[in-house]
């Protein structure tokens, strides 16, 4: 052995005893682990549920021009053509009037950001999808469904729209644009 002083020898001996104790302590846990693994292997296996049956695919047959055009994004798109060709009776929008700027947007893309009044006139402030603010008064048109402004209050803009009913006629529907944040 090396030439060690008595203090160093004692420290070395204590470290060797501690190391031997640690190594012997680990071997007892391994037996517990082996017993647990054997116990798990002896348990009966649970059955695996059967694979669900495969549903057969039923193809859809496109009927051509008898159904709705699948490439249109909105029911209001192309509604002018449906109305001019039909012979429906009842309310109709004025298709000869010049379209206003805010009629190029769907109503749900517009938002009301405020109102203001000067003397006897009252306007609503409407933000379009591009972020531009427009002044709208009673009688103006907004939205793609020929929406005519009927009233302006502090928290909403009321209007009536014409919706094509699909048979050449039109339905009138009340709509509103609420003040943003309310």
Q: Please state, for a pLDDT cut of 70, what percent of the chain lies above it.
A: 79
Going from N- to C-terminal start, the domains of the chain cover 64-178
DSSP labels, 121-150: EEEEEEE-TTS-EEEE-TT-EETTTTEEEE
95-122: pLDDT as tens digits? 888 999 999 999 888 999 989 888 888 9
In tens, the pLDDT along 86-96 reads 455 678 888 88
Q: What is the topology classification, in CATH, of domain 64-178? A: SH3 type barrels. (2.30.30)
Partnered with residue 3 across adjacent β-strands are none
Alpha helices in 57-180 (DSSP H): 79-85
Which tens digits make up the pLDDT trace of 62-78? 666 666 666 665 544 44
Tens-place pLDDT, residues 136-149: 999 999 998 889 99
Looking at residues 1-28, what average pLDDT do you find?
Answer: 76
- Determine the Cα–Cα distance for residues 121 and 53; give it in Å rounded to an integer: 69
* Contact predicate 95/85, CB 8 Å: no
Q: What is the pTM of this model?
A: 0.51
């Amino acid at each position: 052995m090396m030439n060690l002083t008595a203090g160093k020898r004692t420290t070395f001996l204590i470290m060797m005893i501690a190391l031997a104790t640690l190594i012997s302590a680990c071997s007892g846990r391994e037996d517990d682990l082996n017993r647990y693994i054997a116990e798990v292997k002896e348990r009966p296996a649970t059955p695996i549920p059967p694979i669900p049956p495969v549903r057969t695919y039923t193809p859809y047959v496109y009927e051509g021009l008898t159904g709705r055009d699948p490439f249109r994004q909105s029911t209001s798109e192309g509604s002018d053509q449906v109305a001019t060709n039909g012979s429906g009776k009842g309310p109709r929008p004025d298709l000869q009037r010049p379209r206003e700027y805010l009629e190029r947007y769907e109503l749900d893309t517009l938002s009301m950001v405020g109102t203001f009044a000067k003397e006897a006139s009252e306007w609503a402030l409407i933000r379009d999808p591009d972020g531009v603010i427009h002044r709208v008064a009673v009688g103006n048109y907004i939205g793609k469904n020929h929406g005519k402004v009927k009233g302006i209050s502090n928290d909403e803009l009321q209007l009536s729209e014409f919706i094509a009913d699909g048979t050449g006629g039109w339905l009138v529907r009340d709509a509103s644009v609420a003040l943003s944040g309310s």
